[in-house]
Structure 1
């Protein structure tokens, strides 16, 4: 029986402070799995440098020279976490039976990777790493994250609760996912759409080992908005409903104004006028902005620009591709 060829794909952006620790940790995991005969000796780590400004790529490049288990890719500029991860998946699927994606900050528990492999060997095409609790998050981040999942559910998108991008995908799952051609691929939403047999592995997330978070509040908002507008038209329908509601209200307001005029109470109210102007003005600007988000996505899609550009590829591909098998 052929052993499973595993690639662990790790997107990196300015991770020089934590890279050495991350590489050593994941390398130990790989070696342990090989020692248990759970994966092939041709398995490897794949680090994807997403246009880092520090010495991250130099560290990756050096590691590929001296460690046969390490491969690397360098994107020509910063394309964003999701596209960097997609670049790694698209490259790794060429020579792997399954791929595990994990962030470079070591917050996700690498100890459950063994369970990922066991679940894969039991027939699961997708294995989600799911946080069992969010104690390490601040009160604000914890509640905004929960609000995000609830909002996405109301928008009609089924996400795996408390799951980020720590997951295992089989070769077949990745190949099918790559058939989705949208420019801005929201992986957390696309993967559940594949419909293959899946399971969850729960773990406790740790504090960041070193460095700073690459997802400040601004990027979190942009990420959430990207997810919503990529999978649902309900916000547009909400605007339509609000427009209808305010049209009805305006009819009653007009009737009220006429009645007041006939009764001789014609003095206009400054407060009510200002409230109406600001309320309607704010709603109109918000509506135009939301419609603009959808138009912007259409604009990006029709140009059909590449999702990423690879500047340097140091992947150590499996020599005999016939050894890579899928279910």
Structure 2
């Protein structure tokens, strides 16, 4: 069937990169995306099509979960992630978005203008604007997830670094606050020594202070390193994925 097109990548670049390559090679005025595990019902295409056709101003119709599937840990981690993302980036994401979405060509072209290597697609899909309509859906569960805790933590860090510089501002503010407290403490020591009593210093307080400031410095350097690493990866301008073969294009 010549209507079926297949794209083979040279290796596994991850789901987001594969979807992006599919959108790059798409040609239709409407583009529908759906995860291959079919946890989202393919018949959503009909529902989304009716919605987007009934309102010419709507550019995207997408599904989201009002209640995340899984156990208490998965639900709480999802709630924590999206709320922390909102605090750090100022971007509010409705519910828990899924990849089932029907998009107009103009919206797809806007997405493809984003060429960063580390792509937090849900955030990109939000900030490009356009008129978006979210519909609550239910998602089937296959009983397990291949999305490990390590991958979730990695995505969380990627999303925060890609969309917010607040961690840098927070670290800077903490540094200034500690410096201010240090000045107050120095003033207290000088005042005690000059006017009241001898200040008895101790090794324990000195060592604790050194370790505290040293740990703070390491944390700050680590966060700055994450941002520098992002710029390093982007400066190489490598392709997000490489298409090995296409069929019926």
Same fold (TM > 0.5): yes
CA spacing shift, 1:83–1:121, aligned 2, 3 Å: same
SS in 2 for 1:100: strand
1 CA distance for matches of 2:43 and 2:232? 43
Deviation at 1:142, TM superposition (A): 0.9
Q: Deviations over 1:203-261 (max 9, x none)?
A: 1222126xx52321111111111111111111111111111111111112323344555
2 CA distance for matches of 1:104 and 1:304? 29
The counterpart of 1:197, out of the listed 131, 144, 165, is 131
Would the aligned equivalents of 2:66 and 2:95 in 1 still touch at CA under 8 Å? no
Correspondence for 1:321: none
Correspondence for 1:289: 222
Deviation at 1:274, TM superposition (A): 4.6
Would the aligned equivalents of 1:130 and 1:161 in 2 still touch at CA under 8 Å? yes
* Structure 2 stretches lacking a partner, 5+ long: none
CA spacing shift, 1:281–1:80, aligned 2, 3 Å: farther
The counterpart of 2:245, out of the listed 312, 315, 319, is 312
TM-score w.r.t. length of structure 1: 0.68
Q: Deviations over 1:152-180 (max 9, x none)?
A: 11122232331133322211111121122
1 CA distance for matches of 2:98 and 2:209? 41
Q: How many residues align?
A: 244
Q: Deviations over 1:278-320 (max 9, x none)?
A: 4333322222111111111111112111111111212x34xxx
1 CA distance for matches of 2:98 and 2:223? 25
Deviation at 1:80, TM superposition (A): 2.0
**Structure 1 residues 1-327: aligned runs within 5 Å:** 70-92=4-26, 94=27, 96-122=28-54, 123=56, 124-134=58-68, 136-155=69-88, 156-208=90-142, 213-259=145-191, 261=193, 263-268=197-202, 270=204, 272-314=205-247, 316-317=248-249
Would the aligned equivalents of 1:125 and 1:170 in 2 still touch at CA under 8 Å? yes
* Structure 1 stretches lacking a partner, 5+ long: 1-66, 318-327
1 CA distance for matches of 2:64 and 2:125? 14
Deviation at 1:269, TM superposition (A): 5.3
Deviation at 1:69, TM superposition (A): 5.2
2 CA distance for matches of 1:305 and 1:162? 30
Deviation at 1:184, TM superposition (A): 2.3
CA spacing shift, 1:252–1:143, aligned 2, 3 Å: same
CA spacing shift, 1:280–1:139, aligned 2, 3 Å: farther
Would the aligned equivalents of 2:16 and 2:119 in 1 still touch at CA under 8 Å? yes
1 CA distance for matches of 2:182 and 2:139? 51
TM-score w.r.t. length of structure 2: 0.88
Query: Runs (4+) of structure 1 moved beyond 4 Å?
Result: 259-262
